[in-house]
Amino acid sequence: MCGLGFQPQHRLGIAGFPGRMNAMVQIEVKKLTRTFRVPEREGGLLAAMKSFIRRRYKEVRAVCDVDVTIAEGEVVGFLGPNGAGKTTTLKMLSGLLHPTSGSATVLGHVPWDREPEYLRRISMVMGQRSQLHWDLPAMDSFILHLAVYGVDKDQGRSTLDELINLLDISGVLKKQVRTLSLGERMKCELCVSLLHRPAVLFLDEPTLGVDVTMQARIRQFIAEYNRRYNATVILTSHYMADVTALCKRVIVIDRGKVLYDGPLADLSQRVAPFKVITIDLQRDMDGYDFSSVGTVVASDGRKLTIRVSKDQAASATSRVLADLPVLDLTIQDPPIEDVISQVFSHGPESTS
């Protein structure tokens, strides 16, 4: 048995998604589990020699009894810390990995059977892992992609023009892919992945490493693609902004287990209804009672991070500005990791 003993609070059709209740179920996952067998040994030369003679292995359960149902056209965010099992789940749903046990159907296919008809209807964007030929201009990869996916010539041409236009990449098509900036490359990566108009799109960290402006444009684009083609999108990201901008529904996963599956608004409202205020001071204010403003999360000389409840954020900020010699002040949503760690520390029961 694996698991932490929690039961997800929300399920499709049970809570929160009346609009989707009649939509066609496109992804159905039951008790999906994946175990990896990894070699392990102590550090040092002696341990290396021992391991040469006799190797020790450890079973790591990356995904454990995951049950998920996703309807056509939904945009779902997979959230969780590093190593939670998000990417492993996506890899199984895209057919890259075979599960240890459990079942899944996506668009009526078993993903890991890897039927060409299935692979033609999905796409997976894996951060820096490229579908583009590194040494050639992106346009060459686009043309190859259309041929490999057997896209009709006219449809291919019009989708290509549309994507080039939407992503604003006409200026970079003739450059060798390896000479592109990270943001330009990511946009080309999205373009190539969508040329065959996939009905289901798996996005693993699509905005990783790109600047804030580019992140926003990529988000806009994904939302537009979802709207235009009613495509189902499953997204993993470390950026709260990606998730808030795109996903009405989130699935929180940790140590391979689904901890929460439901509306995003409910998750942050229930689990982390606070803002994080970061203050840079001109001089030390040792005598000041910061705890009267909120919970001091971090204090490093003249730089403080304070957590305050959402409804008190405005008054707390005015008070800080009035009382203290502030050099700089920022108010942010809690980092996604914090929201999730709240779920982990309290368990989903506390969220209901």
What lies within 8 Å, CB to CB, of 5 at 6+ separation is: none
Q: What is the token pair recorded at 282?
A: 């001109």
Residues in the interface with other proteins (CB under 8 A) total 35
Please give the backbone phi and psi of residue 351, each rounded to the nearest 5 degrees, phi first.
Answer: -85, -10
136 binds other proteins per the rule CB under 8 A: yes
CA distance 247 to 266: 12
327 binds other proteins per the rule CB under 8 A: no
Q: What is the token pair recorded at 281?
A: 């001071």
107 binds other proteins per the rule CB under 8 A: no
What lies within 8 Å, CB to CB, of 192 at 6+ separation is: 131, 132, 138, 141, 142, 145
Nearest distance from C-beta of residue 177 to other proteins, angstroms: 11
| Nearer Cβ to other proteins (13/102) | 102
Interface stretch with other proteins, choices 1-9, 49-57, 108-116, 319-327 (CB under 8 A): 108-116
73 binds other proteins per the rule CB under 8 A: no
The β-bridge partners of 75 are 233
341 binds other proteins per the rule CB under 8 A: no
Interface stretch with other proteins, choices 125-133, 165-173, 291-299, 301-309 (CB under 8 A): 125-133
CA distance 254 to 117: 32
207 binds other proteins per the rule CB under 8 A: no
The one among 23, 96, 241, 297 contacting other proteins by CB under 8 A: 96
Longest dimension (CA), the chain: 72
The one among 7, 15, 36, 244 contacting other proteins by CB under 8 A: 36
55 binds other proteins per the rule CB under 8 A: no
CA distance 183 to 179: 12
What part of residues 147-176 is at the interface with other proteins (CB under 8 A)?
A: 147-150
| Nearer Cβ to other proteins (191/293) | 191
298 binds other proteins per the rule CB under 8 A: no
116 binds other proteins per the rule CB under 8 A: yes
Please give the backbone phi and psi of residue 183, each rounded to the nearest 5 degrees, phi first.
Answer: -65, -45
Residue in the structure block whose two tokens are 């392990």: 40
Interface stretch with other proteins, choices 95-103, 158-166, 240-248, 255-263 (CB under 8 A): 95-103
8 A C-beta contact, residue 331 and residue 319: no
H helix or E strand, kind and range, residue 251 = strand 249-254
The one among 25, 144, 173, 285 contacting other proteins by CB under 8 A: 144
Q: What is the token pair recorded at 75?
A: 């945009």
CA distance 137 to 129: 17
76 binds other proteins per the rule CB under 8 A: no
204 binds other proteins per the rule CB under 8 A: yes
Q: What is the chain's alpha carbon radius of gyration, rounded to the nearest angstrom?
A: 23
Nearest distance from C-beta of residue 273 to other proteins, angstroms: 35
8 A C-beta contact, residue 120 and residue 150: yes
The one among 18, 45, 117, 283 contacting other proteins by CB under 8 A: 117
CA distance 132 to 185: 9
Nearest distance from C-beta of residue 91 to other proteins, angstroms: 5
| Nearer Cβ to other proteins (149/288) | 149
Residues near other proteins, by CB under 8 A: 36, 87, 91, 94-98, 112, 114, 116-120, 123-124, 126-127, 129-131, 133, 135-136, 140-141, 143-144, 146-150, 204
